[in-house]
Amino acid sequence: MSELLLAPKRMIELEIDGQSVRVFEGETILGACRRLGIDTPTLCYGDTLEPANACRVCVVEVEGARVLAPACSRKAEAGMKVQTDSERVRHSRKMVLELLASSVDLSTTDEIPGYLERYDAQPERFGPPAPPDPDRDRKRTGHHVEPDGQTAATVYAPVKIDNELYVRDYSKCILCYKCVDACGEQFQNTFAIHVAGRGFDARISTEYVAELPDSACVYCGNCIAVCPTGALMFVSEHALRAEGDWREDDQTVTTTVCPYCGVGCNLELHVQDNTIVKVTSPDDHDITRGNLCIKGRFGFQHVQARDAP
């Protein structure tokens, strides 16, 4: 009903890879590409969040522009001519993938193998990856130790396990800002985490690197929900993966309604061996838009902590 109150939107026409396409005014180039079925790689983009346009893997070439444009955030304009597979585009996408894959552990980013192959990316060419750095959280801004170039610098750091609900493995962090946005103004408004530091040393941090139980975190897990790389993960998933027993193919995903308050949040229960191993919420449901609170996200354990009567 409320949709009826929205003013009708104007349609505009543009050209992508020689094909003409009509989109609503305000739609992005990415949206236009999707209408045409053009598969655009994305990593930092999330359907439920404002585009951070930080990873730049979705860049396209807009005729007349000096530099490439991020498809995820650049609004389509009438008469625009866009190339999504030009040599410049392919080069930058390939390089972005190489730069990321050589500095971040992308082993739990599902799209990565496909992307690397599609763009013939060779991340290993920058040298063997540097080992984890236990001091990564406390780097002095604007300073670094001069490298010898014999290893490729990485963001690897020890895994953070400081609570019983979820794990933070920032070796897998591509700094997409999604967790910060979800914890912040776009959803949860708790602001427990933020990007700290600068440049290659930029990282997600609490104030003074506080452990989560000392921080503002309310364990809604909305950061886990938006994390594209598995840097943030349920303890249950982390443990099963560590044991080599995470079997996505054997899991069922069932949508139901949270058993707690009366808001009616939809839960997607990920079940393996009759055990809930993860809880998500549908991105496209307008009650939650993918978000939950601590009870919805983690309060399921009572059903499996019961003694069999």
Partner 1 sequence: MFGAGGGTSSYREMEETDVVLLWGSNARETHPIFFHHLLRGIHNGARLFVIDPRRTTSAQWADRWLGLEVGSDIALSNTVAREIIHAGLANRAFIDNATEGFDAYAASVEPFTLAEGERLTGVPAEAIREMAHAFARADRAMICWTLGITEHHTAVDNVLSLINLALLCGHVGRFGSGLNPLRGQNNVQGGGDMGAIPNKLAGFQDIEQDHEARARFEQAWGVTIRPTYGWHLTQMFDGMEHGELRTLYVIGENPAQSEADINRTRKLLSELDFLVVQDIVLTKTAEMADVVFPSAASWCETDGTVTNSERRVQRVRKALDPPGEARDDMWIITEIARRLGQDWPDPVAEDVWDELRSLSPMHSGKSYARLEELGGIQWPCPDETHPGSPMLHERLWAEPRIGPAAPFTVVEARGPFEELDADYPIRLTTGRRLESYNTGTQTNLYSSPLHRGESLDLSPEDAERLELADGEVARVSSRRGSVEAPVRIDPALRPGLAFMTFHFPDQVDTNQLTIDATDPKSGTAEFKAAAIRVEKIERVEDEERAGVAEHATVGGQQ
Partner 2 sequence: MDLHLVPGAIPTTAERLALDSVLGPAVDGWDGGTRLQGPEGNTASSGHASRVRRHLLLPALWALQERIGWISPGGLNELCSRLTLPPADVYGVATFYAMLAVEPRSARVVHVCEDIACKCVGSDDLIAQIEERFGAEGELSDDGSATWYRSPCLGQCDRAPAALVSDAGEEPHERTLALTTAVAVLEALAGGDPGPAPVTVLPQAGDPALRLLRRAASTRSVSLDEYRAQGGYAALRRAVELGPEGVIREVKESKLQGRGGAAFPTGVKWEAVARQPARPHYLVCNADESEPGTFKDRVIMERDPFALIESMTIAAYATGCEHGYVYIRGEYPEPQHALQSALDEARVRGYLGDDVMGERFSFDIEIRKGAGAYICGEETAIFESIEGNRGEPRNKPPFPVVEGLFGKPTVVNNVETLVNVPDIVLRSGPSYAETGTEGSTGTKLFCLCGHVERPGVYEVPFGTTLRELYDLAGGVMGGKELQCILMGGAAGGFLRPDELDLPLTFEAVREAKTTLGSGVVLVLDETVDLPRLLMRLAAFFRNESCGQCVPCRVGTVRQQEALARLVSGKTAGGVQKELAVIAEVGQCMRDASICGLGQTASSAIESAIGRLGVFS
User: Which residues of the shown chain bind partner 1 in the complex (CB under 8 A)?
Assistant: 1-2, 5, 163-165, 185, 187-189, 212-213, 217-220, 252, 254-266, 269, 271, 274-276, 282, 285-289, 291-296, 298-309
Q: Which residues of 57-78 are buried (b: 16+ CB within 10 A; e: fewer)?
A: bbbbbbeeeeebbbbbbbebee
* Of 78 and 303, CB closest to partner 1: 303
Contact (CB, 8 A) for 236 and 224? no
* Of 95 and 165, CB closest to partner 1: 165
Q: What are the percentages of helix, strand and coil residues in the chain, rounded to 5?
A: 30, 20, 55
H or E element that contains 294: helix 294-298
Contact (CB, 8 A) for 46 and 224? no
Q: Smallest gap, in angstroms, from Cβ of residue 173 to partner 1?
A: 22
H or E element that contains 14: strand 11-16
CA distances from 145 to 149, 175, 197, 201 (A): 12, 22, 15, 12
Residue 254: how many other CB atoms lie within 10 Å: 10
Say which entry of partner 1, partner 2, none residue 285 contacts (CB below 5 to 8 A, set by partner kind): partner 1
233-252 residues in contact with partner 2 (CB under 8 A) are: none
Q: Smallest gap, in angstroms, from Cβ of residue 73 to partner 2?
A: 6
Distance, CA of 33 to CA of 43 (rounded, Å):
16
* Residue 55 touching partner 2 (CB under 8 A): yes
For the chain, what is the largest distance between any 2 Cα atoms, rounded to a whole number of angstroms? 71
Say which entry of partner 2, partner 1, none residue 210 contacts (CB below 5 to 8 A, set by partner kind): partner 2
94-123 residues in contact with partner 2 (CB under 8 A) are: 95-96, 99-100, 102-103
Q: Smallest gap, in angstroms, from Cβ of residue 173 to partner 2?
A: 12
State phi, psi for 166 to the nearest 5 degrees.
-145, 160
> What x/- string results for residues 120 through 159 when contact with partner 2 is judged by CB under 8 A?
-----xxx----------x-xxxxx-xxxxx-xx------
* Of 126 and 285, CB closest to partner 2: 126
Q: State CA 138 to chain mean position distance.
A: 24
Say which entry of partner 1, partner 2, none residue 206 contacts (CB below 5 to 8 A, set by partner kind): partner 2
Q: Smallest gap, in angstroms, from Cβ of residue 211 to partner 1?
A: 9
* Residue 85 touching partner 2 (CB under 8 A): no
- Given the rule CB under 8 A, which residues bind partner 2? 53-57, 59, 67-68, 70, 73-75, 88, 91-92, 95-96, 99-100, 102-103, 125-127, 138, 140-144, 146-150, 152-153, 174-175, 184, 189-202, 205-208, 210, 214-216
